[in-house]
């Protein structure tokens, strides 16, 4: 093996093997189900209509759980998501479903909506998730159980992507084969403070204890900041053995690139020096370099270890790989190298059609938070 590549190649191989072990163990993790069933408020900030939107929100209305409410929040009274939400209300008239048109302004618009939803929530357990998330019928039971441990402050979960276009499919592959292994192996590497926006469940009292949503209203990565603050308060953030589904828009390559660069730049400001060290985990990169430097057998061995990790993680989160997906994984990995490089510099991101600038702390620069009292703040 080329001496210059021996160390990073060995580190990448070790990382891939560890992530494979973590992925194989994930479905077998013990699940703590609740003995008691405290009432739950589901907070769903919404902006526009995502693919399969009605199927996603309907999955929240058929939960096998004794008492819960769903609060949808929009910042625009003409948001196209409002008609499907009203359709859900008509289909489930006995379920407490409310729609709040929020007028609280924050640099992070989603957090501005969450601030109002939290004020309207009636129950002691809050579940926050993205608008495009589809969940299984036992979702609430499996989230609430770990919170019976007083040392647990937040429960989060992994997600898988569903997509049709190749650009969106590349992003779904990134979620399954790069992001999910990283999340699964993180606790083994001592990283325990993150939360994932796909699902966050916590006590309303603990949210108030860390300053409420107001404490993270200036940050782009509000989910990470909530997890970090819960962890800093001396409580544990745990990953539930449950996986939800997100339906990715059938975007083109330009939109996919912008989205992943935003993701990368957000990760950079969250992880700091850890972001710079990420290339040592990129096994496909080192496999290609080994082959080019005259060690094709070592390169092939490293690529085989990488593929083992990718396939194990995909299976762990329940992503159904198509025949064309498997050979696309190395190509997606190399695309990911360029995304990582683009994430090294720059402070501008595109999010929900808005061009935002973030500083080194991950704050949205120049945003002014204000609360405007108006009748629109009341549930409608």
Alpha helices in the chain (DSSP H): 3-25, 53-61, 82-91, 109-120, 139-144, 166-174, 180-185, 204-209, 222-232, 253-271, 273-276, 283-292, 296-316, 325-343
User: The CATH number of the domain where 238 resides is what?
Assistant: 3.90.550.10
The answer to whether residue 349 sits within a structural domain is: yes
Per-residue pLDDT of the chain (380 residues; tens, 9 = 90+): 567 788 888 999 999 999 999 999 998 777 777 888 999 999 999 998 888 999 999 999 999 999 999 999 999 999 999 999 999 999 999 999 999 999 888 888 899 999 999 999 999 999 999 988 999 999 999 999 999 999 999 999 999 998 888 889 999 999 999 999 999 998 888 788 889 989 999 999 999 999 999 999 999 889 999 999 999 999 999 999 899 999 888 888 888 888 888 888 888 877 777 888 899 999 999 999 999 988 999 999 999 999 999 999 999 999 988 888 999 999 999 999 999 999 888 777 766 667 778 887 888 885 433 443 333 344 44
The answer to whether residue 378 sits within a structural domain is: no
Contact criterion met (CB below 8 Å) for 336 and 257: no
pLDDT tens across 160-173, in order?
A: 998 888 889 999 99
CA distance 27 to 29: 6
Contact criterion met (CB below 8 Å) for 125 and 41: yes
Backbone phi, then psi, for 70, in 5-degree steps? -120, 125
Cα atoms in the 13 Å half-sphere on the side-chain side of 324: 5
Beta pairing class for 125-128 and 200-203 = antiparallel
The answer to whether residue 186 sits within a structural domain is: yes
The answer to whether residue 296 sits within a structural domain is: yes
Q: What is the pTM of this model?
A: 0.90
> How many residues make up the chain in this entry?
380
The answer to whether residue 60 sits within a structural domain is: yes
The answer to whether residue 376 sits within a structural domain is: no
The answer to whether residue 102 sits within a structural domain is: yes
Task: Report the Cα 76 to chain-centroid distance in Å.
Answer: 24
Range of the domain at 53: 1-371
The answer to whether residue 379 sits within a structural domain is: no
Number of domains, the chain = 1
């Amino acid at each position: 093996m080329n001496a210059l590549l021996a160390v990073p190649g060995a580190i990448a191989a070790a990382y891939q093997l560890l992530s494979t072990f973590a992925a194989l163990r994930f479905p077998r993790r013990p699940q703590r189900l609740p003995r008691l069933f405290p009432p739950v408020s589901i907070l769903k900030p919404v902006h526009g209509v995502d693919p399969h939107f009605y199927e996603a929100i309907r999955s929240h209305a058929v939960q096998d759980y004794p008492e819960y409410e769903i609060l949808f929040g929009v910042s625009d009274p003409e948001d196209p998501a409002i008609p499907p939400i009203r359709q859900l209300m008509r289909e489930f008239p006995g379920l407490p479903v409310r729609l709040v048109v929020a007028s609280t302004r924050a640099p992070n618009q989603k957090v501005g909506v969450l601030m109002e939803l939290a004020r309207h929530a009636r129950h002691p357990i809050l579940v926050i998730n993205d608008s495009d998330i589809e969940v299984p019928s036992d979702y609430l039971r499996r989230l609430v159980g770990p919170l019976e441990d007083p040392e647990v402050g937040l429960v989060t979960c992994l997600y898988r992507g569903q997509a049709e276009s190749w650009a969106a499919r590349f992003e779904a592959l990134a979620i399954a084969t790069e992001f999910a292994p990283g999340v699964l192996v993180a606790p083994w590497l001592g990283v325990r403070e993150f939360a994932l926006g796909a699902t966050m469940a916590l006590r309303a009292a603990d949210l108030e204890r860390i300053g409420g949503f107001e404490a993270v209203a200036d940050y782009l990565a509000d989910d990470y900041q909530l997890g970090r603050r819960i962890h800093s308060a001396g409580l544990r953030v745990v990953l539930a053995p449950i996986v939800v589904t997100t339906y990715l828009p059938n975007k083109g390559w330009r939109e996919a690139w912008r989205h992943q660069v935003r993701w990368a730049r957000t990760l950079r400001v969250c992880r700091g020096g850890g972001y710079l060290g990420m290339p040592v985990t990129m096994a496909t990169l080192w496999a290609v370099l080994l082959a080019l430097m005259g060690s094709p057998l070592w390169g092939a061995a490293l690529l085989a270890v990488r593929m083992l990790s990718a396939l194990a993680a995909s299976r762990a989160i329940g992503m159904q790989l198509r025949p064309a997906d498997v050979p696309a994984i190395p190509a997606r990995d190399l695309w990911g190298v360029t995304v990582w490089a683009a994430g090294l510099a720059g402070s501008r991101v595109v999010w929900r059609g808005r061009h935002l600038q973030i500083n080194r702390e991950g704050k949205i620069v120049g945003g002014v938070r204000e609360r405007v009292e108006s009748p629109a703040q009341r549930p409608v």
